[in-house]
């Protein structure tokens, strides 16, 4: 298959210059000019054909022989959940270090970082009570990450439902103090892009406890960040305000949130809930990095990455086991196709994306201190679904040129359903923007992500091998093009 | 939201004709011409805006309030598998008739057809034997549809592996006679479109038994039509040659096919298998049809449909419960948005697509006998995954015009990730081509389909509500455009 560009080149040549010998009477410089123009054009066409064939072979090799799905099985089933600072995270560091050691990198190393150590303790429990003694309805809940617990006895209080911070502020301290605040604004399911719907609702989860705590609430219950209506609660980061006494925060499933809201329309509800989160002292952990030095431009770095940590419920399959194994797949596929990178290729598995970004910050600091230049960084952290393209980000001084350049390659990428849009790339690579390279986030189909995100349902079985491998092949194709041509 | 096109119209008008009163000195006919041109243009723009808003509201209404997912749960969990002629198929006819009766159609009726009645009996069993007595390896197998059984004692014979009919013919009767033929050509997993890979391999399943039987084989084992490597066998239609004595045919999981092939490289293998299929006498069954008569063009029919029957293992969720409930959703959403179809809208749930097309043939015959004209027919029978567009088919005398016409609407559809390609529409509607309307097949993302197709894994839980509803909204949008504008 890889010989085809040559035969294509030859046949074009034959058509373009069938009688080359007979034009010798034309003025020499004209002939030369013509020849040069034709050669440039032919060489461009030939290169594009070669690239098309190479990208086709990237996709074929990844679909047929890719290992990402097997690696993901190990990461999910043998390592399991891996919240930063937990034994699972240590096991993930060791396991992926061991894997990278077998993948032909020049160097594989651990980059230290100090991560927060949050422990859930026993899972939260909540029930609707008529009095403080009698439970009538158990709710499906989970503690939010980074939260404090209620203490062993739990808390019991009347519930007040709100939908945003304005509504909360309007109720004010006299209504909110001593209550449990129930944040119940759903994600907007009519948005096609579920990440946009997530952005429109997630402030409740991140800042709800801080905002309600400031008004004297005893605790908060957040409607889960989910696009479906079901019984699965979704955890995720909570961020306290250092100026405000922290209060416990839990998430409730969307079905139970709807039920609660219906009951609240009719009567006053009191809820008892207990949760047991604790933030312990930070502990040392690591990013895991594999590096292959470039042959001709070793000082230009191409990074592919995902984050190694996950929440502590589920297996962190789509978030972000898939990004980890896709990043590991990139160089593995290039090797399989005997492609030797001109630039330095780095596979970076970041620690602590979920609740602190300590790994990413350590990476940025070390990279900037060493005066490194990341020509390209790609993060995959939106799930292992059928890829639709990339979200591009960069320093304004260079971004327009970079964005135009990558759009030149659309004819090579559109056959795989890929396109570009501008927007955020990935939480772990955003801090590299000042190096003035290009930052890309893999954009998969978003429809199923919030069925799994931060839940016990985010397990290996929820990932399709083909969809996962297509994402890896998409990343590999971008790496190939930018490694081969740069961005100028 | 639906007022916005009007305000857009007004603001455009203001900009275009700010000083209309002051141009009275310009020649009247020139002014009129200008006015006419502007009005036509404005009316076009306004219509496009109105269409964009209506299509947005179709998607929003379906995502937020669509019932298709609930209907599918009923069809999968309460009705279950529904092979033509089975009690399950009768239950499906009754259940969907009952559902359609509640959906505001003018008429809901059952259209009779005579369907084959194949029964599986106990599921097939197969094992590798050293002698006829000792089983060493149980294989994961399933009987192919329409097949005969082995008889209660089963058959035992040496296995010969082939990859296509040429290889089989080359071996000839002297090698094949008395053997079990093992067809083991995999689907080409490097094809991006898994249906293309299916087309490239499925001849083994459909004609393998006939071809091998002609050379005296005792039975055939077919590698399952799957894109993954796993333990799940896939059933599906087998077609005997009326000139050739039928032999039993089963499918084996891809993992076991690979294992079998590795063993066959090393040693002679004998397999014992038993299967118990039986083709009984045909029985009466029905297509289920709901019809809403058009207000202004009642003689132009717009059909949306899927097939009600399924294989007898699994729940027929993606094949084709999703197509059934998406078709039911179309008019339900239009009603919700107070849209009254100008053309006659028919929701047709076809019987017996899987092993005979008796329902489709009955529909075509009745339609042609009544001199009907189907302006448009859309079938959904490629699974309930994120929609990517439509495959368009039609009589050559009109197809170019129709295809150009629908491509004019791309700006309205591309925001939803939809496009058009030419190709087959659907098995149940292909026979309407001679009526010279347009035939469309919904094209969803194909990556996961052959993990479920014709298996016990094709269950309700494998369907994403959002993906399913996006497909329904895509069909509804095409119905809206073609109902409103026709195809001229």
B201-205 mean pLDDT: 98
- The model's pLDDT over B89-126, given as tens digits with 9 standing for 90+, comes to 999 999 999 999 999 999 999 999 999 999 999 999 99
Judge whether residue B5 has pLDDT over 90.
no
For A339, which DSSP code?
Answer: P
- Cβ–Cβ contacts within 10 Å for residue B137, how many? 14
Instruction: Find the mean pLDDT for residues A31-47.
Output: 68
> Which pLDDT belongs to residue A3?
32
User: Over 80: is that where the pLDDT of A376 sits?
Assistant: yes
What does the pLDDT read at residue A178?
A: 98
pLDDT of residue A261: 96
User: Phi and psi of A260, rounded to 5°?
Assistant: -60, -45
B8: pLDDT strictly greater than 70: no
Res A85 pLDDT > 90: yes
Strand partners, B283: B115
Place of tokens 């997530």: A198
Check whether B18 has a pLDDT greater than 50: no
* Contact assessment for residue A453 and residue A319, using Cβ atoms and an 8 Å cutoff: yes
Residue A13's φ and ψ, nearest 5 degrees, are -60, -45
Q: How close is the nearest chain B Cα to the Cα of A211, in Å? A: 29
pLDDT in tens, A131-184: 554 556 799 999 999 999 999 999 999 999 999 999 999 999 999 999 999 999
Block residue for tokens 């022989």: A65
Domain B66-115+282-485 has CATH 3.40.50.1820: no
Chain B interface test: which of A73, A445, A452, A460 (most B C-beta within 10 Å): A445
CB-nearest to B451 from A189, A464, A470 is A464
Q: What is the pLDDT of residues B416-475, one digit of tens each?
A: 999 999 999 999 999 999 999 999 999 999 999 999 999 999 999 999 999 999 999 999
Coil, strand or helix at A446: coil
Q: Are A378 and A475 in contact (CB under 8 A)?
A: yes
> When comparing pLDDT for A125 and B22, which is higher?
A125
Burial class (CB in 10 A: 0-12, 13-18, 19+), B351: buried
Q: Which pLDDT value is given to residue A53?
A: 98
pTM, 2 dp: 0.91
Which among B133, B185, B460 has a CA at the least distance from the CA of B314?
B460
* Alpha-carbon A138 to chain mean position: 33
Strand ranges inside B163-226, DSSP E: 180-183, 219-223
Inter-chain residue contact B192 with A415, CB threshold 8 Å: yes
Cβ distance of A192 and B445 shorter than 8 Å: no
Taking the domain A121-276, which CATH number applies? 3.50.30.30
Do B190 and A59 count as a contact with CB atoms less than 8 A apart?
A: yes
- The average confidence (pLDDT) of chain B is 92
Interface of A with B (CB under 8 A): 59-60, 63-64, 189-190, 192, 194, 227-228, 386, 388, 415-417, 445, 447-448, 451, 464-467, 470
pLDDT attached to residue B4: 32
Q: Name which of A176-190, B8-22, B75-89, B173-187 the model is least confident about.
A: B8-22
pLDDT of A64 over the 60 cut: yes
**In a mutagenesis test of the B interface, which of A386, A414, A416, A443 is the best target, namely the one with the most B β-carbons within 10 Å?**
A386
* Of B322 and B17, the one with more pLDDT: B322
Pairing between β-strand B270-274 and β-strand A438-444 as defined by DSSP bridges: unpaired
Q: Which residues pair with residue B107 across a beta bridge? A: B291
pLDDT of B13 over the 80 cut: no
Residue-range domain boundaries for chain B: 4-50, 66-115+282-485, 121-276
Predicted ipTM of the assembly: 0.90
Mean pLDDT of chain A: 92
Mean pLDDT, rounded, for B42-59: 91
pLDDT at A43 over 80: no
**Inter-chain CB proximity B194 and A60 less than 8 Å:** no
Region B294-323: mean pLDDT is: 98
**Cβ–Cβ of A194/B448 closer than 8 Å?**
no
Q: How confident is the model at residue B45 (pLDDT cuts 50, 70, 90)?
A: confident
- Tell me: pLDDT of B133 over 80: no
| pLDDT higher than threshold 80 for residue A8 | no
What is the rounded distance in angstroms from the CA atom of residue A403 to the CA atom of residue A474?
A: 17
Percent of chain B with pLDDT over 70: 90
What value does the mean pLDDT take over residues A9-20? Answer: 30
- Token pair in block for residue A154: 């739990």
CA-nearest of B375, B347, B377 to B287 is B347
Task: Give the gap in angstroms from C-alpha B465 to the nearest C-alpha of chain A.
Answer: 8
Dist CA A250 CA A222 (whole Å): 6
List the structure tokens of A365: 């600091």
Task: State residue A137's pLDDT score.
Answer: 74
Q: Are the CB atoms for A135 and A156 separated by under 8 Å? A: no
Per-residue pLDDT, A395: 98
Task: Identify the residue whose tokens are 């995502």.
Answer: B63
Count how many pairs of residues, chain A against chain B, have C-beta atoms within 8 Å: 54
Average pLDDT on A35-61 reads 84
| Contact indicator for A95, A78 with CB cutoff of 8 Å | yes
Helices (H) and strands (E) in chain A, counts: 14, 16
> pLDDT (tens digit, 9 = 90+) per residue, A200-259?
999 999 999 999 999 999 999 999 999 999 999 999 999 999 999 999 999 999 999 999
Which chain B residue lies closest to A448 (C-alpha atoms)?
Answer: B464
Which chain B residue is nearest to residue A227, measuring alpha carbons? B466
CB A216, CB A228: distance < 8 Å: no
Q: For the residues A7-31, what does the mean pLDDT come to?
A: 36
Inter-chain contact B189–A63, Cβ cutoff 8 Å?
yes
Closest in B227, B388, B470 to A447, CB measured: B470
Determine the pLDDT at residue A30: 58
Q: Average the pLDDT over B140-166 and give the result.
A: 97
Residue B256 is predicted with a pLDDT of: 96
CA distance, residue A60 to nearest chain B CA (Å): 5
Q: Find the range with the poorest average confidence among A418-427, B1-10, B348-357, B466-475.
A: B1-10
**Site from A65, A192, A232 to mutate, B interface, most B CB atoms within 10 angstroms:** A192
Q: What is the pLDDT of residue B456?
A: 98
State mean pLDDT over A37-48.
73
Give the confidence band of A21 by pLDDT, cuts at 50, 70, 90. very low
pLDDT in tens, B79-95: 999 999 999 999 999 99
Residues A48 and A412: beta-carbon distance below 8 Å: yes
A142-151, A264-273, B200-209: segment of lowest average pLDDT? A264-273
Gap from A327 CA to chain B (nearest CA, Å)? 20
Q: Is the pLDDT of residue A482 over 50?
A: yes
Rounded distance, CA B393 to CA B438, Å? 6
Q: How confident is the model at residue A44 (pLDDT cuts 50, 70, 90)?
A: confident
Between CA B281 and CA B85 the distance in angstroms is 10
Q: pLDDT of B378-396, one tens digit each?
A: 999 999 999 999 999 999 9
Instruction: Please give the residue that has the higher pLDDT: either B175 or B133.
Output: B175
**What is the band of B3 on the pLDDT scale with cuts at 50, 70, 90?**
very low
Q: Which of B252, B268, B45 is nearest to B141 (CA)?
A: B252
pLDDT of A449 reads 98
Chain B residues with CB under 8 Å of a chain A CB are 59-60, 63-64, 189-190, 192, 194, 227-228, 386, 388, 415-417, 445, 447-448, 451, 464-467, 470
Q: What is the C-alpha separation between B117 and B209, in angstroms, rounded?
A: 20
% of chain A residues with pLDDT over 70: 90
Q: How far is A477 from chain B (nearest CA, A)?
A: 15
Whether the pLDDT of residue B282 is over 60: the answer is yes
Shortest CA gap B119–chain A (Å):
32
Distance from CA of B65 to the nearest CA of A (A): 10
Contacts of B416 in chain A (CB under 8 A): 192
């Amino acid at each position: 298959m890889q010989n085809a560009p040559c035969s294509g080149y030859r046949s074009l040549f034959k058509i373009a210059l069938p009688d080359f010998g007979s034009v010798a009477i034309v003025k020499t410089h004209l002939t030369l000019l013509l020849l040069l123009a034709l050669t440039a054009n032919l060489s461009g066409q030939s290169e594009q054909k070669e690239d098309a064939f190479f990208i086709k072979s990237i996709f074929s090799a990844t679909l047929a022989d890719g290992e990402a799905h097997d690696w993901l099985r190990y990461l999910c089933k043998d390592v399991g959940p891996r919240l930063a600072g937990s034994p699972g995270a240590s096991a993930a560091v060791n396991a992926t270090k061991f894997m990278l050691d077998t993948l032909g990198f020049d160097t594989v190393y651990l980059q230290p970082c100090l991560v927060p150590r949050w422990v859930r303790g026993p899972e939260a429990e909540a029930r609707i009570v008529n009095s403080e003694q009698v439970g009538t309805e158990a709710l499906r809940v989970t503690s939010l990450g980074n939260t404090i617990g209620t203490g062993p006895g739990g808390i019991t209080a009347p519930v007040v439902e709100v939908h945003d911070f304005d509504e909360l502020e309007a109720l004010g301290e006299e209504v909110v103090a001593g209550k449990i605040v129930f944040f119940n604004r759903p994600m907007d399911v009519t948005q096609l892009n579920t990440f946009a719907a997530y952005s429109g609702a997630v402030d409740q989860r991140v800042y709800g406890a801080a905002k309600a705590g400031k008004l004297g609430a005893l605790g908060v219950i957040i409607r889960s960040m989910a696009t479906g209506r079901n019984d699965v609660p979704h955890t995720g980061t909570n961020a306290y305000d250092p100026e405000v006494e922290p209060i416990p925060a839990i998430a409730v499933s969307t079905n139970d949130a709807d039920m609660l809201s219906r009951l609240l329309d009719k009567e006053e509800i009191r809820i008892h809930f207990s949760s047991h989160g604790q933030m312990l002292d930070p502990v040392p952990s690591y990013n895991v990095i594999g590096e292959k030095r470039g042959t001709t431009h070793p000082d230009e770095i191409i990074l592919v990455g995902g984050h190694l940590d996950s929440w502590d419920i589920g297996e962190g399959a789509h978030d972000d086991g898939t990004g980890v194994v896709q990043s590991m797949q990139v160089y593995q596929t290039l090797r399989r196709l005997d492609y030797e990178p001109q630039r330095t290729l780095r596979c970076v598995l970041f620690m602590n994306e979920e609740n602190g970004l300590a790994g990413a910050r350590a990476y940025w600091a070390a990279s900037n201190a060493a005066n490194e230049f990341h020509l390209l960084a790609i993060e995959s952290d939106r799930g292992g679904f059928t890829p639709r393209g990339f979200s591009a980000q960069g320093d304004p001084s260079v971004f327009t040129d970079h964005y135009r350049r990558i759009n030149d390659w659309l004819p090579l990428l559109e056959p795989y359903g890929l396109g570009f849009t501008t927007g955020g790339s990935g939480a772990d690579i955003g801090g590299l923007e000042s190096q003035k390279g290009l930052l890309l986030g893999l954009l998969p189909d978003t429809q199923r992500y919030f069925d799994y995100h931060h839940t016990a349902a985010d397990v290996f079985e929820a990932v399709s091998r083909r969809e996962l491998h297509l994402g890896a092949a998409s990343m590999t194709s971008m790496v190939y093009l930018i490694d081969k041509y740069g961005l100028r």
